[in-house]
Amino acid sequence: MALERRSGTGAGIARALCLAALLSACGQPEPAPAPAGDTPAHELRQGYFFTENEARAELARYTDSYATLGEWRARAALIRDGILAGAGLDPLPERTPLKPLFDDRREHDGYSVEDVAFESLPGVFVTGSLYRPVGDGPYPGILSPHGHWENPDDYGRYRPDMQLRTATLARMGAVVLTYDMVGYGELREIGWVHEHPKTLALQLWNSIRGVDFLTSLDEVDADRIAATGASGGGTQTFLLTAVDDRVAVSVPVVQVSAHFFGGCVGESGMPIHVRPTHETNNVEIAALAAPRPQLLISDGDDWTQNTPDVEFPYIRNVYRLHDAAGLVDNLHLPDEVHDYGPAKRNGAYAFLAEHLGLSLEAVTAAAGAIDERGVAIEPEVTLHVFNADHPVPPHVVRTNDDVRW
């Protein structure tokens, strides 16, 4: 059952300006951006590819294409294989040694933060922050990809709301990895760019290796892995969950849409939606999580405004085929905007606590509300893995074009 809080809010000028700013932040000021690299335009679905009515009609056609669990599983296999093939990840690259780096562990109230990096491919460093509970575990592991917000004062994994989310989840009893998207944070400083034809492939591979990294930690329970992120981090959440069965619980936030396909090349810059065998959209990709627990969080001021009536019913129907309708839910906040704000975080905390065995009590104040005040917001420089004392290793791959798969 969807957790809906409805009012009569409309899109309006503010929404248009907000969405234009988000697309512009990714270097794509138009709703239907030009295809990346040499991929023909007819093989890509990007930005506002459909009108809302066209998207509804397409979902109806997809619904008519299967009626049983076996028929859905056959379609799901096509979609999953299409993501990997479209991203150039079929077959998957060799899982080379991660060679993790750990540095500068800071102890806070009920959790610690550590600067970490690992190699997703030889010389390709994934930089991030590792948040751990106090104790020995075993603990669930959570990947927390950030969105594509570009404001230098409110940016990437350094954002205060990212730190609040990851640290609170650690205080609840999870080991949480937040990591730089391709062309963001320290990867940008190393020399990577986001606007590249293969960004989607490398970002998805980095996330798969992020699961490898988490499950390599002695205190992490490999059977309790989750992913959650907002906007572009929401896309990364449902793409990773679709292709990696190790993700047991997922919470994609303000991103699952039937008519909008993402405004950045890391979301839709490669032909993952259109294949020789089929066409699909992000609603079906999110449905690949079934029957694993999933919470869709949506709002009334972006492309997820129709989630309770369009996207969620489609996904819930797939869960019903699995006899698992109780494992998928939608928290819809019609008066809210495109972010991972407090109400959205509170919904995610409750869902992840229920399905991962986390402790809400550890972060609940006497009055009964979630209390994030125990989190220390660290400055960006503190969250850097590499600096003058710990320089980037000499074998680092510094540009997108130098990756050797």
Could you list the residue range(s) of the whole structural domain that residue 67 is in? 8-247+258-287+340-405
Q: Where are the beta strands (DSSP E) in 156-262?
A: 175-179, 220-230, 247-253
Whole-number pLDDT of residue 38: 61
* 132-168 per-residue burial string, b: 16 or more CB within 10 A, e: under 16: bbeeebebbbbbbbbbbbbeeeebbbbbebbbbbbbb
Residue 100 lies in a domain: yes
Whole-number pLDDT of residue 13: 31
Residue 355 lies in a domain: yes
Residue 296 lies in a domain: no
Number of domains in the chain: 1
Instruction: Tell me how many degrees the CA angle 295-299-303 measures, rounded to the nearest 5.
Output: 100
In sequence order, which residues have a C-beta less than 8 Å from that of residue 65 and are 6 or more positions away? 71, 75
Residue 217 lies in a domain: yes
Instruction: Tell me how many degrees the CA angle 4-142-136 measures, rounded to the nearest 5.
Output: 130
Q: Which residues on neighbouring strands pair with residue 230, listed in sequence order?
A: 253
Count of beta carbons in the 10 Å neighbourhood of residue 109: 11
- Nearest one of 351, 227, 348, 238 to 286, comparing CA atoms: 238
Handedness of CA 31, 311, 335, 367 (dihedral sign): negative
Transcribe 250-308 into DSSP letters: EEEES---SS---SSHHHHSSSSSEETTEE--HHHHHHTTTTS-EEEEEESSSTTTTTT
Residue 313 lies in a domain: no
The tens place of each residue's pLDDT in the chain, 405 residues long, gives: 444 433 333 333 333 333 444 444 453 333 334 334 567 777 899 999 999 999 999 999 999 999 999 999 999 999 999 999 999 999 999 999 999 999 999 999 999 999 999 999 999 999 999 999 999 889 999 999 998 877 767 779 999 999 999 999 999 999 999 999 999 888 999 999 998 999 999 999 999 999 999 999 999 999 999 999 999 999 999 999 999 999 999 999 999 999 999 989 999 999 999 999 999 999 999 999 999 999 999 999 999 999 999 999 999 999 999 999 999 999 999 999 999 999 999 999 999 999 999 999 999 998 999 999 999 999 999 999 999 999 999 999 999 999 998
Residue 326 lies in a domain: no
3-class state of residue 329 by DSSP: strand
C-alpha 116/C-alpha 130 separation (Å) is 6
- Nearest one of 352, 340, 372 to 109, comparing CA atoms: 372
The bridge status of strand 124-133 relative to strand 111-121 is antiparallel
Residue 150 lies in a domain: yes
- Nearest one of 247, 313, 243, 322 to 82, comparing CA atoms: 243
Residue 325 lies in a domain: no
